Amino acid sequence: MELSMPPPQIYVEKTLAIIKPDIADKEEEIQDIILRSGFTIVQRRKLHLSPEHCSNFYVEQYGKMFFPNLTAYMSSGPLVAMILARHKAISYWKELLGPTNTLVAKETHPDSLRAIYGTDDLRNALHGSNDFAAAEREIQFMFPDVIIEPIPVGQAAKDYLNLYVTPTLLQGLTTLCKEKPADPFIWLADWLLKNNPNKPKLCHNPAAEEP
């Protein structure tokens, strides 16, 4: 008797993409390439960073020879920041971008975005997060209200629904049938807000109280 293996869990990652100031006018065609490459653009915003903000964003590069030129370049005009989502978004976006150095990209990855839109080793047209930790930090820098969390899909999504959503919803619907409110939709919405199992709970800590 053969045992069928459960399908692997697949998560949708988020990564930060930036269309840098010198090619911000190419936003529409670059977004078209992004969408045709299987990404979803979760959020986007156009903004003009100050040199100070650029220094904070590229804090890990601080002290390197190119750092002043980098912050001057990134603050030279409006840029477009986007949150991209798909399975393995970080690695797929980095692959689509090509090597960091535009000159290298043109030689080794001529079809990459940096080879097409980049100018030189500094003006490489686009930015992508290097890993999950960088994506989390960079997305929260550009989009402070966004929560970074892998989104379950496929079997993982079914497991999440069965474990966390369905039991609460069934309890709410059962209570709804007993209560028979005048407006069941509003009542159920209020009930779900009050009985959300993922709602943070405050813990009483006597040790923290004043004597």
Segment 68-95, tens digit of pLDDT: 999 999 999 999 999 999 989 999 999 9
Q: Which residue has the tokens 């010198």?
A: 22
Nearby residues of 67 by Cβ (< 8 Å), 6 or more positions away: 55, 58, 61
Identify the DSSP state of 60: G
Question: How far is the C-alpha of 137 from the C-alpha of 19, rounded, in Å?
Answer: 18
Specify whether 127 is catalytic.
yes
Cite the residue boundaries of each domain of the chain with CATH code 1.20.890.
154-195
3-state secondary structure at position 176: helix
Per-residue model confidence as pLDDT tens digits over 4-53 = 555 555 578 899 999 999 999 999 999 999 999 999 999 999 999 999 99
Cite the residue boundaries of each domain of the chain with CATH code 3.30.70.141.
14-142
Q: Per the CATH hierarchy, to which homologous superfamily does domain 14-142 belong? A: Nucleoside diphosphate kinase-like domain (3.30.70.141)
> In this structure, which topology does domain 154-195 adopt according to CATH?
cAMP-dependent Protein Kinase, Chain A (1.20.890)
The residue from 48, 109, 127, 204 that is catalytic is 127
